[in-house]
Amino acid sequence: MCYHTSTPPTAELKKYLDEQRLLRKERGFVIEEYEPYFHVSGFSHPEMPVIASDKPEHVVRAVWGFIPHWIKDEKKAAETMNITLNAKSETVFTTPMYRDAAPNRRCLVMVNGFFEWKWDDPNKKTSEKRPHFIYMPDRKPFALGGIYNDWRGTRTMSIITTQANELMADIHNTKKRMPLIMPEEMWDLWLNKETPRDEVEHIMLPFPEGALQVHEISKLITDRSQDSNVRDVQEAV
């Protein structure tokens, strides 16, 4: 699944999006300031930079952990956020938690990498597991497909996952999942509220083989005695 990511600095994201604007001949993006992370866990429910279908030329902050409209109290909302960090592409249109948002409240979560663990023996949970950092070869930001909902004035979101490609199946060798990475040429289709369900389902696919870079990293990422939100957390070992 996708519970750990990194996000680009605002200036880096702006440069990347300006390049996309020139390619797509659109107006410039308006970016709401956000805190960048070398590493952040979804379970801390950080504010992440997203481009949402209601304002597709704006980057706004959304809290990681989806809250549907029918949740009525803060306690239940907090409990729900811990189980809605990810939504499965295969069931996002049908599961009660997400089915109201999936047709027209889709978003792009802007990151510059994500983290996953590989078990030495996927059939033995007592075996060693080693963290890896996954990113684009050019180290540029990229977009993960997500869905969002506004709950009591707060935008909340979930990152969609799909079946792993060959690379990610080797790394995430227990559940064999990966985040839904949305290529730039699919952004408009994904964010368009009028895109039919069958077309949306057709683009929720594993990212092409050979298009991602990966390396093993140290266990700093899980060392609770140290701050893991540092550049060293992404360094290869």
SS3 27: coil
Q: Are the CB atoms for 29 and 50 separated by under 8 Å?
A: no
173 falls within a domain: no
Residue 21 scores a pLDDT above 80: no
What CATH number has the domain bearing residue 151?
A: 3.90.1680.10
pTM of the model: 0.96
Mean pLDDT of the chain: 94
| pLDDT one-digit tens code per residue, 75-124 | 999 999 999 999 999 999 999 999 999 999 999 999 999 999 999 988 88
**Domain interval for residue 9:** 4-113+138-162+178-206
pLDDT digits (tens, 9 = 90+) for 152-183: 999 999 999 999 999 999 999 999 999 999 99
- Say how many CA atoms lie within 13 Å of 15 toward its Cβ: 8
40's tokens: 């952040």
222: in domain:
no
Return the closest-CA partner of residue 144 out of 177, 100, 111, 184: 111
Q: Is residue 231 part of a domain?
A: no
**Could you say which DSSP state residue 189 is in?**
H
- Give me the number of domains the chain comprises: 1
Flag whether pLDDT at 25 surpasses 60: no
Residue 212 lies in a domain: no
Cα separation, 129 vs 125, whole angstroms: 9
Dihedral through CA 220, CA 221, CA 226, CA 232, nearest 10? 60
